[in-house]
Amino acid sequence: MIDLTVTHPIGDRIREVLPPLPAALANGALAVASLALLVTVMAILLVWLERKVCARFQARLGPTRVGPFGLLQPIADALKLLMKENLRPTATDMVAYYLAPLLPITGSFLVLTVIPFDHNLQVANPGAGVVFVIAASGLGILGTLIGGWGSNNKYALLGSMRSGAQLFSYELSMVLCMLLVVMAAGSASLREIVLSQQGTVLDWWIFKLPGAGFAAFLLFLISSTAELNRGPLDLSEAEQELTGGFHTEYAGMSFSMFFLAEFVNMFAAAALGSTFFLGGFLAPQIGVHAVDAVLSFVPGVIWFGLKSGFLIFLYMWFRWTFPRLRIDHLLALEWKFLLPVSMGNLLLGATLVTFGLLLP
Amino acid sequence: MRDVLFYLLCAVMLGFAVIAVTSRNLFRAVLAFAGVILGTVILFFALGAEMTALAQILVYIGGVMIFVLYAVFLTSGEEVGMPKPSVAKIIFALIVAAIPLSLIAGLALRAGCTFPVAGEALQSPIASLESIGLRLLNPGADGFLVPFELISVLLLAAMVGAIAIATREKEAETADGILTEKQEDAS
């Protein structure tokens, strides 16, 4: 097998005690279980956060009654979704209808497997981690398209046709932004990318490549918002025009799978953003020894969570601030603005790297 | 263990392939084809060809399948079912399929079935992302710089062709109206 092993105290202990094959199985089961737990907790937390942030932006309070600060509200939501009947309209294609909700969540789950949450906290570390991330997110597009067609509903089909065009286009500029960092870091492994940003805050790729890094970060934010199907670029759902787009016909569990995938995807995108541009699990050191010692005492996973949390807040801020774009404006934005700009930015970054014009 | 998994995977892939060919529902045939491709991806991963596997997902699942699905969406109306093929067609298709199959079987027999076993191929570092990238951009004897650049010319030609087909006549275009939207969708 390709060596993807990540050393971790628990994993190493299991490898010591058990023979290779059971150890690999046990470690795999542990990894899947912890990721599943993370996905569940993250989804609940993000649903709560989205409702709260949305409410604050609209000068409301949001959920307050269920639990302290309404924290248990998402659990009530989840219970409601679980107890709903899993309706399937008779005119739908059964295979497609039940297959579609599984694909996006599989894709985002796969992306989470290669994200380094801390020095030793990563399920697998493939050398081509970035390519893996891009490949895995392709499953999401497939799920949306299949779901839209399988629903046998014109709104759903319109939504999925739009989402195909949108996700496909915005993937280009997102990949170009990632490519810039891969080029600068000299590796496509996500772990290596994080480790290439060691040092002070100025060594993070957002600052280290003067100008190009920050531009790439902004481009990444915009294009990943489109990839996430979130407002203002949520053309494939567009509640007001398409009554929900590709998931119009979905109810109960199959709907909540789409819903879950959306929130997990947002976390994954934020995690990627902080891995690529904000130094991932590294502490934000400022060069003063006494402060740095305190900062690096905090475990990396907390820094990682804080950075990702900041990006998630940005995504929510976008959603509740900007109005939705029209489909032709959306595609024009990508093909006539973002794509040329990110290509130019890549060229600029290549020049900076070649001539060593990085921040010291 | 590995052999069992291999044969299991092959059986699943063959099953999907049979569905892809025999299903009269075009949409389901496409889905089954996607299943075959995912099986190939797993095979490549098992062989240690990490990059080939990822490229397979990127190109086939992320690209080709989406376009095939689009083609199905745009061409088939209410009825996605296809008519039952005639006996002559089935016989002809079987003959056409038998020729490459016999060729491949002949090659396999000639090689004496001495293919690299899964475990052996894994150690070869040739399939890593770095080595593929370096060889693609190597102008030397073992590099592939010229074919790589030729492919980009081919892609450029395809892109120009697509734009030329998608572009409407000037008078049909309004400033920023619905027609532009349609045009964007078609491209």
Q: Which of A142, A166, A170, A193 to mutate to test the interface with B (most CBs of B within 10 A)?
A: A142
The band of B141, judged by pLDDT with boundaries at 50, 70 and 90, is confident
- Cβ-Cβ pairs closer than 8 A, A with B, add up to 86
- Note whether residue A12 is domain-resident: no
Q: Note whether A260 contacts B: Cβ–Cβ < 8 A.
A: no
Residue B169 confidence (pLDDT) above 50: yes
Residue A75's contacts (CB-CB under 8 Å, 6 or more residues apart) are A44, A66
Q: Note whether B54 contacts A: Cβ–Cβ < 8 A.
A: yes
CA of B63 to nearest chain A CA: how many angstroms apart? 8
pLDDT value at residue A240: 66
Q: Note whether B129 contacts A: Cβ–Cβ < 8 A.
A: yes
- Note whether residue A166 is domain-resident: yes
Q: Note whether A2 contacts B: Cβ–Cβ < 8 A.
A: yes
d(CA A316, CA A185): 29
Tell me the pLDDT of chain A (360 aa) as tens digits. Answer: 345 666 777 777 777 777 777 887 888 888 888 888 988 888 888 888 888 888 888 888 888 888 788 888 888 888 888 888 777 777 777 788 888 888 888 888 889 888 888 888 888 888 888 888 888 888 888 888 888 887 777 788 888 888 888 888 888 889 999 999 998 888 888 888 888 888 887 888 888 888 888 899 999 999 988 888 777 777 766 666 666 677 777 777 888 888 888 888 899 999 999 999 888 888 888 878 888 888 888 888 888 899 999 999 999 888 888 888 888 888 888 888 999 999 999 999 888 888 887 776
Q: Note whether B121 contacts A: Cβ–Cβ < 8 A.
A: no
Contact call for A327 and B185, based on CB within 8 A: yes
Is residue A355 packed enough to be buried (19+ CB in 10 Å), middle (13-18) or exposed (0-12)? exposed
Q: A312: number of CA atoms within 13 Å, CB side?
A: 24
d(CA B161, CA B155): 10
DSSP state of A16: H
pLDDT value at residue A72: 84
Higher-confidence residue of B77 and A251: namely A251
- Note whether residue A29 is domain-resident: no
Number of independent structural domains in chain A: 1
Residue B66's contacts (CB-CB under 8 Å, 6 or more residues apart) are A141, A142, A145, A164, A168
Q: Note whether A111 contacts B: Cβ–Cβ < 8 A.
A: no
pLDDT > 90 fraction of chain B, expressed in percent and rounded: 17
pLDDT value at residue A260: 85
Domain borders along chain B are 128-187
Q: Which of residues 331-360 of A touch B (CB under 8 A)?
A: 331-332
Contact call for A127 and B181, based on CB within 8 A: no
- Note whether residue A3 is domain-resident: no
Q: With contact defined as beta carbons under 8 Å apart, do A35 and A113 qualify?
A: yes
Residue B171 confidence (pLDDT) above 60: no
| Structural domain boundaries enclosing A210 | 89-354
Of B65, B147, B9, B126, nearest to A143 (Cα)? B65
Neighbours of B153 (CB within 10 A): 9
Of all residues in chain B, the one with the smallest CA distance to A128 is B129
pLDDT value at residue B77: 60
The band of B156, judged by pLDDT with boundaries at 50, 70 and 90, is very high
Residue B164 tokens read as: 């030329």
- Note whether residue A34 is domain-resident: no
Task: State whether the Cα torsion A252-A269-A29-A48 is positive or negative.
Answer: negative
Is residue A225 packed enough to be buried (19+ CB in 10 Å), middle (13-18) or exposed (0-12)? buried
pLDDT value at residue A292: 81
Residue B89 confidence (pLDDT) above 70: yes
Q: Which of B50, B136, B174 to mutate to test the interface with A (most CBs of A within 10 A)?
A: B50
pLDDT value at residue B181: 47
Q: Residue A121 pairs with which residues in a beta bridge?
A: A118
pLDDT value at residue B12: 93
- Note whether residue A242 is domain-resident: yes
Q: Note whether B162 contacts A: Cβ–Cβ < 8 A.
A: no
| Residue B83 preceded by cis peptide, ω within 30 | no
Q: Residue A285 pairs with which residues in a beta bridge?
A: A200
